[in-house]
């Protein structure tokens, strides 16, 4: 029986009659793990062409072919929201990328700050986490995950029109108000490292006209919790949850 619950990211064009060549990992997942055979149906997406129903046309041990038939969902872009965060321990960094994908960030940028103290970052693994999260949550878009960039360098070239929601634990319950309704425009959320931001970084951020400072409540959250809380706050007030 066709199991259209299975969703697979494929980095190939999608359209009616389009044939998709599966790589070894995808073939192993569909035919060995999920035990699908010729004629079974799954859903595929590539982050650009929406979601499509596709049937298994050939099933081999290391390869296979799918044939697309109908579109099952259009491409749904998230709001123009970037998540900037200082990487932490591996599992918690993976969690941040997974949750950013589920909660609807368009781009994820790990930043090196003065007090960033992280395990070595494997961007290919982080990108794979974003793909898996999109497969699992029904998303048709996969956020871009950038290489780690020094915060200073990023801020030096910061676009004039993109606002930054700086999550500042020192505000202790007091926050600047997020704009209410109207044209939202491009935004980014900034989450600091476990050690917080240095005084120089705080001064730099406070001097930027694009920066809006936010409190996430009276308790100090771990960086991964803070990322989820800030994305939730922003999406509910300015994003696609409204
Ligand atoms: N080292 C800091 C301290 O002990 O004061 C804590 C840093 S916190 C673990 C990591 C990041 O999460 C912070 O830099 C901030 O961006 C965010 N964060 C955590 N709790 C927050 C809060 N209550 N309000 C705003 N941001 C918060």
Beta carbons of 55 and 40 less than 8 angstroms apart: yes
Task: Tell me how far CA of residue 79 lies from CA of 43, 84, 188, in angstroms.
Answer: 24, 15, 11
Share of the chain above pLDDT 90, in %: 88
pLDDT tens for residues 130-146?
999 999 999 999 999 99
Across 208-232, average pLDDT: 95
Question: Does the CB atom of residue 84 touch ligand 1 within 6 A?
Answer: no
Tell the residue nearest (CA) to atom 6 of ligand 1. 196
Question: Does the CB atom of residue 221 touch ligand 1 within 6 A?
Answer: yes
3-state SS assignment for residue 165: strand
Whether 236 has a pLDDT exceeding 60, the answer reads yes
Across 150-178, average pLDDT: 88
Please report which confidence band the pLDDT of residue 55 belongs to, taking 50, 70 and 90 as the band edges.
very high
Beta carbons of 89 and 106 less than 8 angstroms apart: no
CA 100 to CA 89: how far, in whole Å? 16
Cα of first residue to Cα of last residue in the chain, in angstroms, is: 38
Question: Does the CB atom of residue 87 touch ligand 1 within 6 A?
Answer: no
Whether 2 has a pLDDT exceeding 60, the answer reads no
Q: List the one residue out of 13, 83, 86, 95 whose CA is nearest residue 54.
A: 13
CA 234 to CA 241: how far, in whole Å? 9
CA 109 to CA 208: how far, in whole Å? 19
CA 229 to CA 242: how far, in whole Å? 16
Please report which confidence band the pLDDT of residue 119 belongs to, taking 50, 70 and 90 as the band edges.
confident
> What domains lie within the chain, and their CATH numbers?
3-73 (2.40.240.20), 81-237 (3.40.1280.10)
Q: List the one residue out of 226, 82, 54, 87 whose CA is nearest residue 161.
A: 82
Please report which confidence band the pLDDT of residue 171 belongs to, taking 50, 70 and 90 as the band edges.
confident
pLDDT of amino acid 173: 62
> Which residue out of 167, 195, 205 has the highest number of ligand 1 atoms within 8 Å of its CB and is therefore the one to mutate?
167
Whether 209 has a pLDDT exceeding 90, the answer reads yes
Q: List the one residue out of 236, 204, 214, 101 whose CA is nearest residue 166.
A: 214
**Arithmetic mean of pLDDT over the chain:** 94
What is the CB neighbour count within 10 angstroms for residue 190? Answer: 27
CA 229 to CA 225: how far, in whole Å? 6
Least confident of 32-41, 74-83, 114-123: 114-123
Whether 224 has a pLDDT exceeding 70, the answer reads yes
Question: Does the CB atom of residue 172 touch ligand 1 within 6 A?
Answer: no
Question: Does the CB atom of residue 202 touch ligand 1 within 6 A?
Answer: no
Across 68-94, average pLDDT: 96
Whether 193 has a pLDDT exceeding 60, the answer reads yes
Whether 40 has a pLDDT exceeding 80, the answer reads yes
pLDDT tens for residues 173-189?
666 667 776 678 999 99
Please report which confidence band the pLDDT of residue 1 belongs to, taking 50, 70 and 90 as the band edges.
very low
């Amino acid at each position: 029986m066709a199991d259209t619950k299975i969703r697979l990211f494929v980095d190939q064009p999608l359209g009616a009659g389009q044939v998709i060549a599966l790589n070894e990992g995808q073939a192993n997942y569909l035919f060995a793990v999920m035990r699908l055979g010729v004629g079974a149906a799954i859903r595929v997406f590539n982050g650009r062409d929406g979601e499509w129903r596709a049937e298994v046309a050939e099933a081999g041990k290391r390869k296979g072919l799918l044939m697309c038939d109908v579109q099952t969902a259009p491409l749904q872009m998230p709001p123009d929201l970037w998540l900037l965060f200082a990487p932490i321990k591996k599992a918690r960094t993976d969690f941040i990328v997974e949750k950013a994908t589920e909660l609807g960030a368009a781009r994820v940028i790990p930043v090196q700050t003065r007090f960033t103290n992280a395990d070595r970052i494997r961007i290919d693994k982080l990108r794979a986490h974003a793909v898996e999260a999109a497969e699992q949550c029904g998303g048709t878009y996969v956020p871009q995950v950038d290489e780690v960039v020094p915060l200073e360098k990023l801020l030096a070239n910061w676009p004039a029109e993109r606002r930054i929601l700086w999550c500042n634990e020192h505000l202790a319950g007091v926050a600047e108000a997020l704009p209410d309704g109207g044209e939202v425009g491009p935004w980014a959320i900034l989450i600091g490292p476990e050690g917080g931001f240095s005084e120089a970084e705080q001064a730099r951020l406070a001097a930027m006209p694009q920066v809006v400072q936010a409190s996430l409540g009276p308790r100090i959250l771990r960086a991964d919790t803070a990322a989820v809380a800030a994305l939730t706050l922003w999406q509910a007030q300015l994003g696609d949850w409204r």
